[in-house]
Amino acid sequence: MSKNDKSAVIVGAGIAGSSLAFHLANKGYQITLLDENSYKEVEIFHNKAVEISPHYMLNNPSYNSLMTKASKFSYELVRGFKFTKKDAMMKGVVKLYDLKDCEKMLGKISTFDIEKSAFEYLEPCTIKEKYYVDKKAGIYFKHGGWVSPIKLCSSLTNDRNINLIPKSKVTKINQKTSSWEIYCENSNRYFAKNLILCNSTSLNKINLFKDIDLKKNRGQINWVDRKKNLKHKEIISEKGYLIPDVNGLDIFGSTYERDNENKELSNNDYEKNLKTYFKLCGDKFEQNHGLQKGWVGWRAVTLDRNPYVGKVFADLPDKKNRPYSLDDLNYHPNLFINVGYGSRGYTLAPFVSKCLASMVDSSQSFEEESILNFLNPYRSWLKQIGLRKKMLTKYK
Ligand SMILES: Cc1cc2nc3c(=O)[nH]c(=O)nc-3n(C[C@H](O)[C@H](O)[C@H](O)COP(=O)(O)OP(=O)(O)OC[C@H]3O[C@@H](n4cnc5c(N)ncnc54)[C@H](O)[C@@H]3O)c2cc1C
């Protein structure tokens, strides 16, 4: 394969894989996108709508800066596709807080590098009047809304440089002299210069990735017919969220549970989700709400809840042989991962995958490189051998 070979195999056609395929195709790459499921069976595609929503922490400037950029990017990306209101509604998100917490958060957000028009304080009386919720203040964020996951992912991969091959479960990978060999369960084999794993909770099942610490968290959302009195189109969220009027349905949730492989809808979770729903509509809880409808899925969660994105170590440095310098780190050539998006794949992955596409292409900007240093998959290891700070401050 030549030095200018622009071939890539991407494993996993969820939002991480589809976004990456989109950005690499824009850079002239020929992409083979493999997914173990038939396209319509991809788990997340049975979810009717996912929220795009900025999420901030009081004391994590790097994360907050990433969130601001990523949510704006996803918002503009979805709007750019000009989906009909059947498939997307980008009307913003209202986050509810107790008054004191709201003031704290607002003070914090005002110090971020965020456009003034991208957020607005909502007083308790406004929240009561417009959203019927009592005793809460709120912040409206413009860069939010909902989109149909299948619509977004299929639009991202609708490019003649992207060859999506469903029913292709990758079981093994092997490094050749100047390419990667990818083995599928159905006996097909693929070769490409670049290989990027975007297969979420299943990453650890493939050799070479046993050291990546990912947990699997089950979640359930539910939906009911839209309440007649609700008029707003903004998503409302506090601990859970309510996505209003997705083709006549209110979608709400979601639950969060480790080490639970139950694929069936759980009545217990339905009750928890209904409590969230009634709270976010400002109504009294009604237990009997008919036969439940909803969706169950799994999130790939990292130790610090930020995704693991970047190159893969060829061998982990021995903790005893310190000191190390950044030049001692030994990565596999042209092998990358893009996983661990937890509950925020649709907000983060389109933007982060753009940074990764630049890394694959060796055309990173300063900003993209700093973001990927922050998301380095081995960050906790790097911290233990004393290199994390050096990596983060390399360009300061
Ligand atoms: C109940 C619930 C509600 C959620 N709501 C939201 C929301 O509103 N907004 C939001 O942003 N996020 C939400 N999430 C989280 C969101 O689903 C994830 O962040 C997102 O799906 C991660 O995208 P991904 O591409 O990394 O993984 P996935 O969507 O899981 O995609 C991974 C793909 O890899 C494929 N794959 C796996 N192994 C292999 C293999 N060996 N070979 C080939 N293919 C393989 C799978 O078939 C799958 O298609 C929710 C999650 C749950 C459970």
pLDDT tens digit sequence for 9-19: 999 999 999 99
Q: What is the mean pLDDT of residues 51-72?
A: 94
Q: Is the CB of 192 under 6 A from ligand 1?
A: no
The residue whose CA is least distant from atom 14 of ligand 1 is 343
Same domain, 181 and 325: yes
What percent of the chain clears pLDDT 70, i.e. is strictly above it?
Answer: 97
Say what the pLDDT of residue 317 is: 76
DSSP letter assigned to residue 318: P
Mean pLDDT in the chain?
Answer: 93
In a domain, 208, yes or no: yes
Task: Identify whether residues 207 and 229 lie together within a single domain.
Answer: no
Pair 379, 247 in one domain: no
For residue 53, tell me if it sits in a domain. no
Q: Is 62 inside any structural domain?
A: no
Collapsing DSSP to helix, strand or coil, 269 comes out as helix
Residue to mutate (ligand 1; options 242, 299, 351; most atoms within 8 A of CB): 299
Closest CA to 175 of 163, 165, 167, 183: 183
Residue 12 in contact with ligand 1 by CB distance below 6 A: yes
Q: How confident is the model at residue 43 (pLDDT cuts 50, 70, 90)?
A: low
Q: How many CB atoms lie within 10 A of CB 260?
A: 17
344 lines ligand 1 (CB under 6 A): yes
Q: Measured in angstroms, how far is the CA atom of residue 199 from the centroid of ligand 1?
A: 8
Instruction: Please give the model's pTM, rounded to 2 decimal places.
Output: 0.96
In a domain, 68, yes or no: no
> Residue 14: CB within 6 Å of ligand 1?
yes
Percent of the chain with pLDDT over 90: 81
- Could you tell me if residue 220 is inside a domain? yes
3-state SS assignment for residue 167: coil
> For residue 118, what are the domain limits?
83-148+215-301
Residue 394 pLDDT greater than 70, yes or no: no
Q: Are 190 and 203 found together in one domain?
A: yes
Q: Which atom of ligand 1 is nearest to the CA of 341?
A: 19
The number of the ligand 1 atom at minimal distance from the alpha carbon of 12 is: 34
Same domain, 161 and 121: no
The residue among 333, 325, 340, 396 whose CA lies nearest residue 367 is 396
Ligand 1 atom nearest residue 338's Cα: 26
pLDDT of residue 211: 83
pLDDT single digits (tens) 207-254: 899 889 899 999 999 999 998 788 899 999 999 999 999 999 999 999
Probe target for ligand 1 pocket from 45, 48, 55, 202, with the most ligand atoms within 8 Å of CB: 202
Considering the domain boundaries, does residue 131 fall inside one?
A: yes
Number of domains in the chain: 2
The pLDDT tens digits for 115-157 are 999 999 999 999 999 999 999 999 999 999 999 999 999 999 9
Query: Is 17 near ligand 1, meaning CB less than 6 Å away?
Result: yes
pLDDT of residue 94: 98
CA of 12 to the centre of ligand 1 (A): 9
User: What is the mean pLDDT of the segment spanning 253-262?
Assistant: 94
Same domain, 296 and 172: no
- Residue 42 beta carbon below 6 angstroms from any ligand 1 atom: yes
pLDDT at 1: 58
Give the sign of the dihedral formed by CA 368, CA 371, CA 377, CA 381.
Answer: positive
d(CA 243, CA 294): 13
Which of 301, 323, 341 is the last residue in one of the domains? 301
Q: Please tell me whether residues 330 and 366 are part of one structural domain.
A: yes
- The rounded Å distance from CA 342 to ligand 1 centre is 8
What CA–CA distance (Å, rounded) separates 141 from 91?
9
Region 185-210: mean pLDDT is 96
| Cβ atoms of 56 and 333 closer than 8 Å | no
221 and 142 part of one domain: yes
> From the alpha carbon of 168, which atom of ligand 1 is closest?
43
| Burial category of 88 from C-beta neighbours within 10 Å (exposed 0-12, middle 13-18, buried 19 and up) | buried
- Three-point CA angle 180, 182, 187, nearest 5°: 150
| Cα(22) to centroid(ligand 1), Å | 17
Domain C-terminal end among 301, 316, 339: 301
Residue 343 CA from chain centroid, whole number: 6
Residue 71 lies in a domain: no
Q: Domain containing 26 — which CATH number?
A: 3.50.50.60
Are 88 and 219 in the same domain?
yes
Q: Are residues 290 and 270 in the same domain?
A: yes
**Does pLDDT of 310 surpass 70?**
yes
In this structure, the number of other CB atoms found within 10 A of the CB of residue 251 comes to: 29
Q: Is the pLDDT of residue 45 over 90?
A: no
Q: What is the pLDDT of residue 38?
A: 84
Domain C-terminal end among 301, 328, 348: 301
Instruction: Give the residue from 151, 265, 285 showing the smallest Cα distance to 219.
Output: 265
Question: Which residue, judged by its Cα, is nearest atom 50 of ligand 1?
Answer: 343
Which tens digits make up the pLDDT trace of 265-302?
999 999 999 999 999 998 887 776 778 999 999 999 99
273 lines ligand 1 (CB under 6 A): no
- Both 313 and 385 in one domain: the answer is yes
1, part of any domain: no
The residue-averaged pLDDT of 182-203 equals 97
The residue whose C-alpha atom lies closest to atom 22 belonging to ligand 1 is 345
Q: Is the CB of 37 under 6 A from ligand 1?
A: yes
Q: For the CA atoms of 369, 375, 378, 381, what is the dihedral angle to 10 degrees?
A: 100
120/130 Cα distance (integer angstroms): 14
Q: Which domain CATH number covers 239?
A: 3.30.9.10
Closest to 8 (Cα-Cα) out of 198, 282, 193: 193
Q: Output the CA 15–ligand 1 centroid distance in Å.
A: 7
Domain shared by 231 and 125, yes or no:
yes
